[in-house]
Amino acid sequence: MTGTLEGKVALVSGSGRGIGRSIALKLAREGARLVINDLDQGPADETIALIREMGGEAVACVGNVTHTDFAERFVGTAVQEFRGLDIIINNAGYTWDNVIQKMTDEQWHAILDCHLTAPFRLLRAAQPVIKALSKAEMQAGRRAMRKVVNISSVAGLFGNAGQSNYSAAKAGITGLTTTLAKEWGRLNVNVNCVAFGLIKTRLTHSTANGETANIGGRDIKVGVNPGLMAAMEQAIPLGRAGTPDEAAGAVYLFCQPESDYISGQTLMCTGGLTGI
């Protein structure tokens, strides 16, 4: 395969399904070699099979991103399997909603651990690898740009009732983004953020189905009330929710060479929605 990311090595957390899978497939189509992550082996293997069908390369690193040993395993898989690390996408996530007076400490910490602490740990684990690679390239008289794309949400920019935990975590990831852009600029790393609006995934399907997801041993209800979904789509200037492939396209904008002088930015991928 050939493309704008030929030979690059990419980590995409939460890439066994949904938006993460679409991101991984998009990067693979452009030539990147992928380390795929999911909570479960099955979805990770499905994404890997799709990548290999198109002639790409991918391996799995299965596990919960909130586990304390995960970040080192994820980075280590890239180095061991592909001898490099060029792109990091912090995508894994879910929601566990409640109004603040009913939200437990467990709910609060679970969402912050997933959406903010896990990305922090991954970037911390990646820094020595990126520094060593960057130093070697600079000593050889070459400049190779690397990319970090953190995933935020309009909830992190504008808040959302019933999501104090999620909104706080997603606001935090934008702060982490701007800080790392300053710390890692000298290493030739672009650090940016994409804030999604309403994207249709299994986490935003109708609650009428009563679907749950088992995350960390907890059965979490997923989905959106059908009436609320219709109202949300009406508020979007484009008149509809986005697709995972459209979400992936926004992430790819920050991964391609044309973004080599863009860093510390948050891009809203919302169909024109500018608040919630």
Residues with a known catalytic role: 166
- What lies within 8 Å, CB to CB, of 268 at 6+ separation is 154, 157, 195, 197, 274
CA distance 136 to 116: 30
CA distance 65 to 117: 9
- What lies within 8 Å, CB to CB, of 116 at 6+ separation is 169, 172, 173, 176
> Is the separation of the CB atoms in 8 and 87 below 8 Å?
yes
